[in-house]
Amino acid sequence: MSFLENAKQYTGNELETIFFRPMLTGPSAQELGVRVLYNMPVPTTIQLWDGQRNILHKYATAGWKGGQAATKYQKTLSLSRVKAELGFSAADYFSLVFEKIAARADVNMDDLTGSELEQAETALFKQAVAENIRATMWVGDTTASTGYNTFDGFLKTIVAAASEEKLFNLPYQASQLDNPEFPVVVFDELWQNADSRVQDMKAGGQLAYFVTSDLYYLYEKYLDSKGADAAYSGAVEGRPGLAYHGIPVVDVRLQNYLPGTALHQSFCLLTDRRNLVLAVNTADFPGNEVRMWYNPDQMENRQRAVFMAGCDVLDENLVTYAYQA
């Protein structure tokens, strides 16, 4: 067997339950680090409520003092129809799928069933689609002629808001990245200048510093320099995750995607995870599907996914941003 010929097509409920929902819910969604909305009605509208303040009154006399209803805001996420396509030579594709099957301890290699091949093929494509969604939600730019231009990402919105002074922004120079203590300076500045609503959100456990890999590495070096047993253990064994004053520091892992874009190559932003929203829809548009087939003319295995996706920053005032100028 040197190639895989069984065509597969997922539509409707299969598209949701087999392919996209496992990829965009539960632990997989948490790994993205942002708020994920899957199969919300299109156009996807998010309600933002600003609760009323000072609603306690003295219990003295009868009557109603409820005042005005809570203010409601809403924001509509524009979703773009996108497609993901991959093509492999038959031999390479079989090797990739075979490797995924061979890595499983519960598989009888002398009796491979169609379902096992299907699971391996699906896992291969899901991994590629998930990573491209993750990259686009950060660096996407619909005005770009090449690259990740299917929908606008968070950075485009944040950079535009920073240039218009709609949010606090802190430029820094490349030379400052030689100092391991510099990330702490950035973290403090962003915290001190954050909206009071952001600071109040710390108790909710959803605040995060989203940083590029250079700042993440510098912060690790800063922690390594501390004269303590924990610093020694961290330097030797590594750290599963970093935090600053209880706020997680998240490496956005964009070093392979930022070059070639007009976006800042190094940055740090502080916001609530729920303020960054990714929406994916596979239900409300005819023709949404995942298809995998073998093209005998080109001796190539091909994969295609058609769906809708988009993302946005709900409230720019809840973001503070530092970047390399």
> DSSP per residue over 189-226, as a string?
HHHHTS-HHHHHGGGGT-EEEEE-HHHHHHHHHHHHTS
Residue 133: inside a domain, yes or no? yes
Q: What dihedral do alpha carbons 218, 219, 221, 224 form, nearest 10°?
A: 180
Burial of 42 (0-12, 13-18, 19+ CB in 10 A): middle
| Domain total in the chain | 1
- Residues whose CB is less than 8 angstroms from the CB of residue 303 and which lie 6 or more positions away in sequence, other chains included: 84, 85, 86, 87, 121, 124, 125, 128, 290, 291, 292
d(CA 169, CA 159): 9
DSSP 3-state assignment of 286? Answer: coil
The reply to whether 59 falls in a domain is no
Which residue range(s) make up the domain with 247? 8-48+73-324
279 contacts 40 by C-beta, under 8 angstroms: yes
User: How many C-alpha atoms does 109 have within 13 Å on its Cβ side?
Assistant: 10
Could you give the 3-state DSSP secondary structure of residue 321?
A: strand
The pLDDT, as a whole number, for residue 112 is 44
Helix or strand holding residue 62 (H, E): none
Q: Which amino acid type is present at position 187?
A: F
Mean pLDDT, all residues of the chain: 85
Residue 242 lies in a domain: yes
In this predicted structure, what is the pLDDT of residue 71?
Answer: 59
Residue in the block written with tokens 């005819």: 286
Question: Which backbone phi and psi does 190 adopt, to 5 degrees?
Answer: -65, -40
The residue with tokens 């946005």 is 312
List, in order, residues 6 or more apart from 233 with CB less than 8 Å away.
none
Say what the pLDDT of residue 210 is.
97
Containing 12, the helix (H) or strand (E) segment is helix 12-14
Residue 222's nearest CA partner among 213, 235, 237, 209 is 235
Q: Which of 211, 268, 265 is nearest to 241 (CA)?
A: 211
Assess if residue 99 is contained within a domain. yes
Q: Within its chain, how far is the Cα of 216 from the centroid? A: 17
How far is the C-alpha of 288 from the C-alpha of 216, rounded, in Å?
Answer: 38
pLDDT at 51: 56
The per-residue pLDDT for 111 is: 46
Residue 238: its H or E element:
none
User: DSSP assignment of 145-175, as one string?
Assistant: SSSS-SS--HHHHHHHHHHTTSS-EEEE-GG
Task: Give the pairing of strands 44-50 and 71-77.
Answer: antiparallel
The H-or-E segment that residue 269 falls in is strand 267-272
Q: Is residue 63, in this structure, part of any structural domain at all?
A: no
Confirm whether 64 is domain-assigned: no
Tell me, yes or no, whether 60 lies in a domain.
no
Is residue 67 situated within a structural domain?
A: no
pLDDT tens, per residue, the chain with 325 residues: 445 667 888 888 888 888 888 888 877 777 888 999 998 888 888 876 555 567 777 777 777 776 666 556 678 888 999 999 988 887 776 777 777 666 665 655 444 445 666 777 778 888 889 999 999 999 999 999 888 999 999 999 999 999 999 999 999 999 999 999 999 999 999 999 999 999 999 998 999 999 999 999 999 999 888 766 665 565 556 667 899 999 999 999 999 999 989 999 999 999 999 999 999 999 888 889 999 888 888 888 888 999 999 999 999 999 999 999 9
Q: Chain-centre distance of CA 232, in angstroms?
A: 32
pLDDT digits (tens, 9 = 90+) for 107-161: 554 444 456 667 777 788 888 899 999 999 999 999 998 889 999 999 999 999 9
